[in-house]
Amino acid sequence: MPAAAIRPTCKGTEKLPSITRSLDPRSIVPPRRGPVSSIVMRLRVRLTTSLLGLAALALCAGLSASAQSTAAQTAGNGTYTPSDPLANVRYDNRFDISLGAAYGHIKAGPPPLQEGANLGGGDFDASYWFSKRWALEGTGRAYLGTSGAGVNDLSIDGPFVAEYIFAGGAEWLGPHNKHAALLAHAMVGGAYGDFEKDLRGHPPSAVEFFNNQITTAAVIGGHIDLNRTPRWVFRITPDALYTRYGINYGNRANYPYWNFGISVGAEYRFKKKR
């Protein structure tokens, strides 16, 4: 049978094995580069088709695995939601306290003493809120350091001085939001001035100082609160400090002074609400 008579068609492809078995081995299709049987050609076509199919399956499997991995990762990690640490700032607490490092400037003596004293210390405040805007506030402050002294022949230069203030009064909550608040306060009370501690037994008149004494004091200023959490606050407290010290020598006069003080520290708002 001629080789042209057994050329396969698409419709009769399933009968190729029986026709192939009856083919004379001497039937050769003359190719370009040598004798190749029709059986070998069909094997090559089938092999190529199989390889393409396997490649397509592998590609589909890879894409499917990648999609499943991405979906699992997204499901496992979830959606990122930023948190707001100040979301629960309410200004509805009943009590709060604050503690800070303090600076205060005072005059340790009457004129003609020219030099002032720059003192450091601590500032403790506590508040009781009975309404949204108003509270009762108390403060205790200590300022310690050295002061310039008047002209003397006792070799006393820069003696130690201290001032302690205790006062109470009203506190008002001003403009505020979840980030910050401005508060004002006015407090009155007393101050104790320790001016003779470092005079080596000499009278305060020798260096133009006040006598040790308790006197009237006032604190007028406020707080600048920067909220870090609903409970913890970074607090700055600038104040005008009023004292009225006197002397029991010379003209025995009293000298009212307004000085500046400031503290920086932390406030804590207790959980109990109004």
Mean pLDDT, the chain, whole residue set: 82
pLDDT digits (tens, 9 = 90+) for 178-236: 999 999 999 999 999 999 999 999 999 999 999 999 999 999 999 999 999 999 999 99
Q: What is the pLDDT of residue 60?
A: 53
Q: What is the pLDDT of residue 12?
A: 45
Helix (H) and strand (E) counts in the chain: 2, 8
| Mean pLDDT along residues 60-68 | 48
Lowest mean pLDDT among 53-67, 96-110, 154-168: 53-67
- The answer to pTM > 0.85 is no
Q: Which range is most confident: 26-40, 46-60, 150-164?
A: 150-164
Report whether pLDDT(5) > 90.
no
Residues 217/235, Cβ–Cβ less than 8 Å: no
Distance (Å, rounded) from C-alpha 61 to C-alpha 48? Answer: 20
Identify the residue with better confidence: 66 or 202. Answer: 202
Q: What is residue 116's three-state secondary structure?
A: coil
C-alpha separations of 106 from 161, 186, 267 in Å: 10, 19, 26
Tokens 């050609």 locate to 41
Distance (Å, rounded) from C-alpha 148 to C-alpha 12? Answer: 120
> Which listed CATH number (3.30.870.10, 2.40.160.20, 3.40.50.2000, 3.30.70.20) goes with 95-269?
2.40.160.20
pLDDT digits (tens, 9 = 90+) for 79-130: 666 688 898 899 999 999 999 999 999 999 999 898 889 999 999 999 999 9
Residues 245/261, Cβ–Cβ less than 8 Å: no
Distance (Å, rounded) from C-alpha 211 to C-alpha 205? Answer: 8
Taking the CB of residue 141, how many other CB atoms lie within 10 A of it?
25
Percent of the chain at pLDDT > 70 equals: 70
| Mean pLDDT along residues 50-65 | 52
| Mean pLDDT along residues 125-142 | 97
Domain regions of the chain by residue span? 3-77, 95-269
Instruction: State CA 191 to chain mean position distance.
Output: 37
